[in-house]
Structure 1
Amino acid sequence: MSTTHEAGWAHAPGALRGPAWLSPPADPNALVPLLWSATAHKRDGDLVVGGVAVADLVAEHNTPAYVLDEDDFRARARAFRDGFADYDVYYAGKAFLCTAVAAWVAEEGLHLDVCSDGELTVALRAGVEPARIGYHGNNKTYPELRRAVVAGVGRIVVDSFAEVERLAQIAAELGAAQGVMIRVTAGVEAHTHEYIATAHEDQKFGFSITSGDAFEAVRRVHDAPGLELRGLHSHIGSQIFDSSGFEIAAKRVLRLHARVGAELGVVMPEMDLGGGFGIAYTTQDDPTDPARLAREMTEIVRQECRGLGIEAPRLSIEPGRAIVGPSMCTVYTVGTVKPVTLDGGAVRTYVSVDGGMSDNIRTALYDADYSCTLAGRASTAPPVLARVVGKHCEAGDIVVRDEFLPGDVVPGDLLAVPGTGAYCRSMASNYNHALRLPVIAVRDGAARILLRRETVDDLLATDVGA
């Protein structure tokens, strides 16, 4: 966040104090490095990313826009590749994917996880080796599965008995040998928002270990000609900061792994521990270094395997947010500034920008927290507690719930929100007929468009008229 825990500016009389953890910044023009990509810094008040001044980008490309730091993305990909050197590391494409990013993933030696036919199309167009692609999803259709098998996708993660039957039929028709992972539900309650906690029993993903469905799914895949049983897949949720949740899930999944060996005589060669590694959206978040995560997760598996008397399977993980999340920021132009007096006389300053929930739905959907900074100039004005909101016709259209901004913020100022690489462009919409934003990659002082801004012609292309 552009805020810190240090004592800073005095509050104006009647002003809000915000959440207990939020305090005014000692230097309102400084960045907190943990929240930004590695190359981001301020130069005379101007935000610079990848050697490019954001104000210069805006002059050429307008706002709102996503700005992606290519060097930072690649460095984070390498950190997972090297930290988890004995694993297969799959970049979770659902966080953010385009052909350039898919190519970067391949160039940095990672595998790629997709969860739709569209994501598979992007991966193949980018030249990703099909054998290094994993395919997820809880309701993959017959045509989607068939295309994946024909393409030579390395592994398909099955999520239901119906999907096992479909995939077995396709493999038989094509005379193919298809690698299969089985998504299991370990019954772990990850400490995250209920919509992104995915390993408890009452949700749509996977086969329950407790009910016996997971074991039955293993048996059916093993018995199906043309399906190669690779192993079990577990994913406990998202925005997770320690290995404790992974520990509980890994133990339960490894016990099933051992049972399969004992009762079916099948030694599955692989196991996927999923992703969900958290990033810092505010100063309250404390992400763990990939190398440390690797050490802790590896030791968890080794200890459990020793206790069960089995060989450790080949492990894989699926970071997405942890790679692309901090690598991107979103730049907006302020449109209006409105101080609002609340009951009791406190004042909250509403700062409206030219984007909102159409380019970042996470605040409205998950009650997510973000931070922001004044991006186009320096300011010495005392800070005020502000709420940055979008331009859409929804009271819940909030971009940054609480942030200290300079008290002289005015229409025309630039604001930048860090940590928007994951699930912002991927979940973007045309709500209120908004045009989706461009993604502009920056590196070594140069910028290039990866995804162009939508146009009115794009918007009307599917409108066939009255």
Structure 2
Amino acid sequence: MYIQKGIIQKQIEKNFIFDNIDTVALAKEFGTPLYVISENIIRSKCSQIRNSFLNKYPDTKAAYASKAFLTLAMCKIIESEGLGLDVVSGGELFTAISANFPMGKVMFHGNNKSYEELKLAVTNSIGRIIVDNFYELEVLQGIAKEHNKRVKILFRISPGVPGKTHKFISTGQTDSKFGISIEENSINLAFKKVLASPNLKLMGFHFHIGSQLFDNRSYINAIEIVTNLMKDLKEKWQFTTEELNIGGGFGIGYSPNEKTKPISYYVDPIMKNIENKCNQLGLKRPTIIIEPGRWIVGEAGITLYTIGSIKEIPNVRTYISVDGGLPDNPRPALYGAKYSAVVANRPYAEKVHTATIAGKSCESGDILIWDLKMPHVKSGDILAVLNTGAYNYSMASNYNRLPKPGVVLISNGKPYVIVEREKYEDLISKDKIPNHLL
């Protein structure tokens, strides 16, 4: 489906335009809440990764971290851009399989992969399984042997480097549920197990510092630790690290005082330091892999809402409520994420007061944006919350039995539905009533 150009042109001067589309017209056509994703922005980000990393440095790979946003259509976009796919669950893997994504370019992460998930990965011959712990190592060995496969793996390690971000999305510190400790006894035991297995081939290591990082120094600190580990393991086990996956976590700007940094800000010093350290330690530089997710899709998305009730508490606060909130964007309630927004049907109106954007869930914590500078608004106005492409649709729930919003992809000036809006009937489609209650 798409909106005729004539309709866009009539309102182009007064409404908020996103990727050459009138957002008010989108809200009228598809309803609200509505996720809107720009294919053009996604492809532009992928192009930057190719130009500043893949084409600039030999023996490099990039995989999109699909937990940020994944649909069948997104799989097709990432495939056409030549990137790999990082998945963290059987559901994400099944989505990739259903989209006919090249399995050799899929990497499977996660700290508690089930037997069924690992079997799905092994039987579909995915490219890499990132082994997070000893339990997984044993389960995977059994599955690989059962299916007569030799599975290529990376060890996820905990380098002991905290990321400068919210503690809920910091993952590289020693006290983390993720990864095998690089403490000598742990890593040596892991090596003994994998080297004794004819069904597992260790390719190298993976680490992930955290998410929404604006400082490249934590990556540099981790590289110092990991390259020393590579040297120690080469000397002790004659093991040559063929691949080093440094994860993702590159931050984006959510508010006016935050600025998204180019991919080169991260990868240039990372590559320089890896090259220098490998030369110093007499190591061959392994293939380097990055896994950006939010950086690719975060700024490619907005969410449209319709304003409902407006509550003014004199000398305290004005609450402007919208027809969505915590179920379609839990990030503000989960870890204080901050967003910016515009009134889509009056984007250039003077901002004359401060208001708080509240969701409709039965939770006091369901606040999308605190203290937003805004024009005067009325019920029925359309609000566009910016930079919601990452971790909004993918984290959405049916809390309060609210149907999940649909997703519209903007491509070459036309919107296409890539996820249908849920209906009330969908909410009860899996419910069952025991016979004794009938």
TM-score using structure 2 length: 0.93
- Quick one: which amino acid aligns to residue 388 of structure 1? I
Indicate how the Cα distance of structure 1 residues 127 and 82 shifts in structure 2: closer, same or farther if over 3 A, else same: farther
- Structure 1 residue aligned with 2:67, among 94, 98, 112? 94
Structure 2 distance, partners of 1:231, 1:218, is 11
| 8 A contact 1:50–1:446 mirrored in 2 | no
- Quick one: which amino acid aligns to residue 328 of structure 1? G
- Structure 2 residue aligned with 1:356, among 314, 325, 348? 325
- Report matched runs for 1:421-432 at 5 Å: 421-432=389-400
1:415 counterpart residue number = 383
More helix by share: 2
1:84 counterpart residue number = 53
- Structure 2 residue aligned with 1:236, among 202, 209, 222? 209
Once the two structures are overlaid, the 10-residue window that deviates more, 184-193 or 281-290, is 281-290
Measured against aligned partners, the alpha-carbon deviations of 1:101-128 in whole angstroms (never above 9, x if no partner) come to 0110010010001011110111111111
1:464 counterpart residue number = 432
| Per-residue deviation, 1:208 | 1.1
| 8 A contact 1:44–1:377 mirrored in 2 | no
Structure 1: state its 5+ residue gaps: 1-41
| Per-residue deviation, 1:445 | 2.1
Aligned residues: 420
- Structure 2 residue aligned with 1:392, among 354, 358, 361? 361
- Structure 2 residue aligned with 1:209, among 178, 182, 187? 182
Q: Per the alignment, in what secondary structure is the counterpart of residue 143 of structure 1?
A: helix
- Quick one: which amino acid aligns to residue 318 of structure 2? T
- Quick one: which amino acid aligns to residue 42 of structure 2? F
- Report matched runs for 1:59-208 at 5 Å: 59-85=28-54, 86=57, 87-208=60-181
Structure 2 distance, partners of 1:349, 1:43, is 30
Structure 2 distance, partners of 1:128, 1:175, is 23
- Quick one: which amino acid aligns to residue 251 of structure 1? E
Measured against aligned partners, the alpha-carbon deviations of 1:205-246 in whole angstroms (never above 9, x if no partner) come to 001113642343233222211111110100000000121000
Once the two structures are overlaid, the 10-residue window that deviates more, 295-304 or 93-102, is 295-304
Indicate how the Cα distance of structure 1 residues 382 and 362 shifts in structure 2: closer, same or farther if over 3 A, else same: closer
Structure 2 distance, partners of 1:238, 1:402, is 25
**Identical residues among aligned pairs (%):** 38
- Structure 2 residue aligned with 1:449, among 411, 417, 425? 417
| Per-residue deviation, 1:402 | 2.6
Structure 1 distance, partners of 2:254, 2:183, is 35
| Per-residue deviation, 1:381 | 4.4
| 8 A contact 2:166–2:335 mirrored in 1 | yes
Measured against aligned partners, the alpha-carbon deviations of 1:353-374 in whole angstroms (never above 9, x if no partner) come to 0000000000000111111001
1:437 counterpart residue number = 405
Structure 1 distance, partners of 2:174, 2:73, is 37
- Quick one: which amino acid aligns to residue 361 of structure 1? P
2:308 counterpart residue number = 335
Indicate how the Cα distance of structure 1 residues 357 and 159 shifts in structure 2: closer, same or farther if over 3 A, else same: same
Measured against aligned partners, the alpha-carbon deviations of 1:363-393 in whole angstroms (never above 9, x if no partner) come to 0001111110010125544421111110001
Structure 2 distance, partners of 1:464, 1:108, is 43
Measured against aligned partners, the alpha-carbon deviations of 1:37-86 in whole angstroms (never above 9, x if no partner) come to xxxxx942311223221111111111000000111111112211332213
Structure 2 distance, partners of 1:132, 1:226, is 20
Structure 1 distance, partners of 2:302, 2:321, is 17
Cα root mean square deviation, aligned = 1.4
Question: Is residue 2:320 matched to residue 1:370?
Answer: no
Q: Per the alignment, in what secondary structure is the counterpart of residue 74 of structure 1?
A: helix
Q: Per the alignment, in what secondary structure is the counterpart of residue 121 of structure 2?
A: helix
Indicate how the Cα distance of structure 1 residues 211 and 360 shifts in structure 2: closer, same or farther if over 3 A, else same: farther
Structure 2: state its 5+ residue gaps: 1-10
Measured against aligned partners, the alpha-carbon deviations of 1:287-345 in whole angstroms (never above 9, x if no partner) come to 2211332211101111221222211111001000000100000000000122223xxx4
Measured against aligned partners, the alpha-carbon deviations of 1:151-184 in whole angstroms (never above 9, x if no partner) come to 0100000111011111111111111111101000
Structure 2 distance, partners of 1:223, 1:382, is 67
Structure 1 distance, partners of 2:358, 2:184, is 45
Structure 2 distance, partners of 1:102, 1:421, is 15
| 8 A contact 2:16–2:22 mirrored in 1 | yes
- Structure 2 residue aligned with 1:288, among 261, 282, 285? 261
Once the two structures are overlaid, the 10-residue window that deviates more, 61-70 or 212-221, is 212-221
- Quick one: which amino acid aligns to residue 412 of structure 2? D
1:401 counterpart residue number = 370
Question: Is residue 2:235 matched to residue 1:266?
Answer: no
Structure 2 distance, partners of 1:440, 1:431, is 22
Measured against aligned partners, the alpha-carbon deviations of 1:10-35 in whole angstroms (never above 9, x if no partner) come to xxxxxxxxxxxxxxxxxxxxxxxxxx
Structure 2 distance, partners of 1:381, 1:422, is 29
Structure 1 distance, partners of 2:66, 2:185, is 31
- Quick one: which amino acid aligns to residue 442 of structure 1? I
1:25 counterpart residue number = none
Q: Per the alignment, in what secondary structure is the counterpart of residue 391 of structure 2?
A: coil
